[in-house]
Structures are given as C-alpha cells and as structure tokens.
Amino acid sequence: MLEDRRILLIVAGGIAAYKTLDLIRRLRERGARVRCVMTAAARQFVTPLSLSALSGDKVYDDLFSLTDEAEMGHIQLSRDADLLVVAPATANVLARMAHGLADDLATTVLLATDAPVLVAPAMNVRMWDHPATRANMALLRDRGVAVVGPDDGDMACGEYGPGRMAEPRAILAAIAAHPGKAGAAAGPGGPLSGVRALVTSGPTHEAIDPVRYIANHSSGKQGHAIAAALARLGAAVTLVTGPVRLDDPAGVGVVPVDSARAMLDACRAALPADVAICAAAVADWRAADSAPQKLKKAPGQETLTLALTRNPDILATLSEPGPDRPRLVVGFAAETERLMEHARDKRARKGCDWIVANDVGAATGTFGGDRNTVHLITEDGVEPWPPMDKTAVAERLAARVAATLSGGTA
Ligand code: C5P
C-alpha cells in the first residue's frame, strides 16, 4: 500500500516528535520514500541526525539555505511529495497553516504545495480545547486537510485529556488510506479506471491584434481540481486549458490552448470520452477580424469600435446528440443574479446532463478564490451543496460522476 509513496514529513516542536522517529521507520519498512522538514523548535526534541539516519535522506530546516535552494528549491521540495504529513502538528504550526503564514521552511512548504496535507495534532489539552485552536482546525478541515488524532490520555505536562499525538500505527494507517496527490490509493484500480474524461478549464484569450486580447478573470482552479480528482479515481483525463498560472495536475494529459476555437478543436480531438466537464470560462465573443499588425492610434482619434463575432459554444457542441456524445456532459453556470432560474434554463438550452451552478457575484470571491458554493442541477432537480473548498467540490463531483457512470445513466 505504501510502496513508492513520497511522503514529506514535517516535524514541529512538540514532545511527541520522538514518536515520529518510529513513524519514519515504519513508513520506510513499507516501501515509502520519506523526506523530512523540521522547524527550529523541533530541534529541541529530536536531532536532524536521527531524522536523516532513519529517513535515509537529507533533512531540510532552513528557508534561506543557498545550498538547499541550489540542490532543490523549497517549491520543488513541496511538490515532489504526494502527501505532506505534519507530525507532531503543534498548536502553533496549525495556527500558522490556518492563517497562511510562511515564516519558516515548514510553513512555506505547506503554503506552496499542490499535494494534500495530513496533520497529527499534539498539544496540551487546554491548548487543543482553546477556541483559537478549534477555529483553526475547523478552517483547516474545511480546506480539505486530513486529521488523525489526537488521542485522549496522560500528557507529558501532567494533565489528562485529548491532545496526545496519535500513535505511529494510526498515523501510518491514515497515510495508507489517504489517496495522496496522484491518487496513490485509488489510481489505476479506482472507480473510474477505464473511463475517459475530458475537462475544460481556465479563461480563453481572444486576439484583437498580435499584442492585445479579450480575456476574463477565471483562474482555472476549479477545472484543474476536477481534472485532478477524476484522475485520482483512476480516469484517463485530458485537460484542455486556456492560459492559467497553475501547475499541470498530476497524472493528467494537458492540452494548452488560447482561443475558444482552439479549445473546441482540442476537445474534438480528445473524443471519444465517457464524460466531459466544461469548467472553462470561454469568451462568448472574439474580434471579428483579428488585426495582423498592432493597432495604431491615428492622430486625434478618440474612439475605436471593435466588431465582435460569436465564439462556438463548446459545451453545447459536445452535448449535441451523436455517436461521439459523451455519456455524461456537465457544464458550469457562473451567475451573478437569479442563479437557479438561469442555471435551469442553461441546462435545457445547452443540452447537457448536469449543470454546476455557482454565484460569482463580486461579494462571493469565487473568481480566483479557493472556495465555491454550488448547486448541482440534474434531471432530478436541484441539490444545494454546502460552501466548500474548490478541491472538495471537485472531489464530490468526481465521486458523483463515478457513481453515475457505474450506474449506467446520467
Ligand atoms: O453560456 P455560459 O457562458 O454562461 O455557459 C457556461 C457553461 O458553458 C460553462 O460550462 C462553460 O464552460 C460553457 N461554455 C462553453 N463554450 C462557450 C461558452 C460557455 O463551453 N463558448
């Protein structure tokens, strides 16, 4: 189960750090590759030498180490792993994670990573019960951070209650059960193995001239998260994406495009597919004639009129009946008003099976943000989903796709 998993273990400064040594030994015995990052406080409890001897690798602890940066930058360190495990996770490190601080190597890696995170909290019982820690844990859980423990018991400080770090055996089991970034626990044997999926993501750029274009604020986070979640369940995923500042999701075939027309061509090339999910924010219009040279201002010119023409609708095209139509076609409806009404109408107009409707009014922070509040609209009606992280929306949607495709209907 743990063969070839790449675990980045972040050791924070708590008395339970000694148990982490046993965890490393057990992980390695089961074939996992373990690399350790430690905080300055952790050095008071375990030595870098013991971590390095047990992990069989260098231990990283300095954000500003030129040598480390030359060998492996902290960004790569954070992305090489398929799971980040924080053990022990002290109240302090959990607070810094919850608030996005990056004031040492450990927290910088936690902020920069594209891998999921599992924490094993360990602290005094009152610290664990403190409203600040509770609020931080709620935030982290909500963002998809997995948690193991803490256990009840006698504490090193002489008190009794919840706060003891989970035993290495329990942490090991939580790691083995976690799918990790590349879907190590699901992957080829997952519920979507044998399924071909097509996902569109990001904005499109429609050229006005060689240096200017029409675009929008889409970050691509939701579409990329969906592609990653489908791949984690074992699907063979093609992600056709407009220009975004995101890393390619692990285990996904990525086709970068710029315009709507290029996106449609790439989607057609990716067929046949069992499921298509159109999460891209495709520009409805493009310049009727993209100028071959940079447009110049004429002396005294005060206005410029751009003639626009309609772009193809990729979702509607993929939804058209025919031998190539995916069994399940899913669109998004990003609306700023009368969400349900527009979304239902869109489902009918585009001919897709499901619509994921979300409110992108300025106040919601959905565009470019990490959270999303969506409703799933199917043939059977409207399902409101609670507000959640875009990764959680992606996972829930991927699970629904798996359940539906295995059931044989959309
Ligand atoms: O019509 P509207 O842009 O609101 O529809 C949104 C849905 O349609 C999204 O799923 C989006 O990816 C898809 N779409 C498309 N091609 C377009 C316009 C929208 O695939 N030209």
- pLDDT tens digits along 367-397: 666 777 899 999 988 888 888 888 888 988 9
Q: Are residues 11 and 76 in the same domain?
A: yes
- Ligand 1 atom index nearest CA of 318: 20
- Expressed in angstroms and rounded, the spacing between residue 332 Cα and the centre of ligand 1 is 7
- Expressed in angstroms and rounded, the spacing between residue 405 Cα and the centre of ligand 1 is 23
Q: Which amino acid is at 41?
A: A
Give residue 27's pLDDT. 93
Kindly tell me if the per-residue pLDDT of 214 is higher than 60.
Answer: yes
User: Picking from 92-96, 198-202, 204-208, 401-405, which range would have the lowest pLDDT averaged per residue?
Assistant: 401-405
Using one digit for the tens of pLDDT, what is the confidence trace for 31-67?
Answer: 899 999 999 999 999 999 999 999 999 999 887 786 7
Question: Which residue among 313, 339, 355, 366 has the greatest number of ligand 1 atoms within 8 angstroms of its CB, and so is best to mutate?
Answer: 313
Question: Which residue among 314, 338, 345, 355 has the greatest number of ligand 1 atoms within 8 angstroms of its CB, and so is best to mutate?
Answer: 314
Pairwise CA distance, residues 374 & 348, whole Å: 18
- Ligand 1 atom index nearest CA of 283: 21
Token pair 């495009």 is found at 257
Kindly tell me if the per-residue pLDDT of 17 is higher than 60.
Answer: yes
- Ligand 1 atom index nearest CA of 317: 20
Catalytic residue (one of 36, 157, 278, 352): 157
Using one digit for the tens of pLDDT, what is the confidence trace for 160-193?
Answer: 878 999 999 888 878 877 778 865 444 556 788 8
Q: Are residues 19 and 167 in the same domain?
A: yes
Q: Are residues 333 and 305 in the same domain?
A: yes
Give residue 187's pLDDT. 53
Using one digit for the tens of pLDDT, what is the confidence trace for 263-273?
Answer: 999 999 999 99
Evaluate whether residue 188 is within a structural domain.
Answer: no
- Expressed in angstroms and rounded, the spacing between residue 395 Cα and the centre of ligand 1 is 21
Residues with CB under 6 A from ligand 1: 200, 260, 278-280, 282, 284, 311, 313-315, 331-333, 346
- Expressed in angstroms and rounded, the spacing between residue 200 Cα and the centre of ligand 1 is 10
Q: Are residues 222 and 145 in the same domain?
A: no
- Domain hosting 82: range is 6-177
Taking residues 306-322, report their average pLDDT: 97
Q: Are residues 349 and 322 in the same domain?
A: yes
User: Which of 177, 212, 242 is where one domain is finished?
Assistant: 177
| pLDDT, mean over the chain | 90
- Phi-psi group of 231: left, alpha or beta (phi > 0 → left; psi -120 to 50 → alpha; rest → beta): alpha
Q: Are residues 172 and 269 in the same domain?
A: no
Question: Which residue among 204, 278, 347 has the greatest number of ligand 1 atoms within 8 angstroms of its CB, and so is best to mutate?
Answer: 278
Phi, psi for 289 (deg, rounded to 5): -135, 110
Give residue 366's pLDDT. 61
CB 8 within 8 A of CB 78: yes
Token pair 């409110």 is found at 359
- Ligand 1 atom index nearest CA of 315: 20
Give residue 134's pLDDT. 95
CA atoms within 13 A on the CB side of 180: 28
Pairwise CA distance, residues 79 & 112, whole Å: 8
Pairwise CA distance, residues 302 & 144, whole Å: 51
Give residue 92's pLDDT. 98
- CATH code of the domain containing 17: 3.40.50.1950
CA atoms within 13 A on the CB side of 84: 27
Q: Are residues 388 and 279 in the same domain?
A: yes
Kindly tell me if the per-residue pLDDT of 230 is higher than 60.
Answer: yes
- pLDDT-based confidence at residue 80 (cuts at 50, 70, 90): confident
- pLDDT-based confidence at residue 409 (cuts at 50, 70, 90): very low
Q: Are residues 308 and 202 in the same domain?
A: yes
Give residue 34's pLDDT. 96
Residue nearest to ligand 1 atom 17, measured at CA: 313
Q: Which amino acid is at 227?
A: A
Q: Are residues 227 and 353 in the same domain?
A: yes
Kindly tell me if the per-residue pLDDT of 319 is higher than 50.
Answer: yes
Distances (CA, A) of 293 to 71, 94, 382: 44, 54, 49
Kindly tell me if the per-residue pLDDT of 72 is higher than 80.
Answer: no
Token pair 């990653």 is found at 228
Distance of CA 322 to the CA centre of its chain: 33
Q: Which amino acid is at 167?
A: E
Q: Are residues 272 and 401 in the same domain?
A: yes
Is 157 among the residues known to form the active site? yes
Kindly tell me if the per-residue pLDDT of 144 is higher than 50.
Answer: yes
Kindly tell me if the per-residue pLDDT of 302 is higher than 60.
Answer: yes
Closest residue by Cα to residue 7 from 50, 55, 42: 55
- CATH code of the domain containing 338: 3.40.50.10300
The number of residues in the chain equals 410
- pLDDT-based confidence at residue 5 (cuts at 50, 70, 90): confident
- Ligand 1 atom index nearest CA of 284: 21
Q: Give the residue ranges of DSSP H helices in 253-389.
A: 260-270, 314-319, 339-350
CB 19 within 8 A of CB 42: no
- Total domains in the fold of the chain: 2
Kindly tell me if the per-residue pLDDT of 22 is higher than 60.
Answer: yes
Q: Are residues 205 and 73 in the same domain?
A: no
Give residue 147's pLDDT. 86
CA atoms within 13 A on the CB side of 47: 3
Distances (CA, A) of 364 to 138, 361, 370, 373: 20, 6, 11, 9
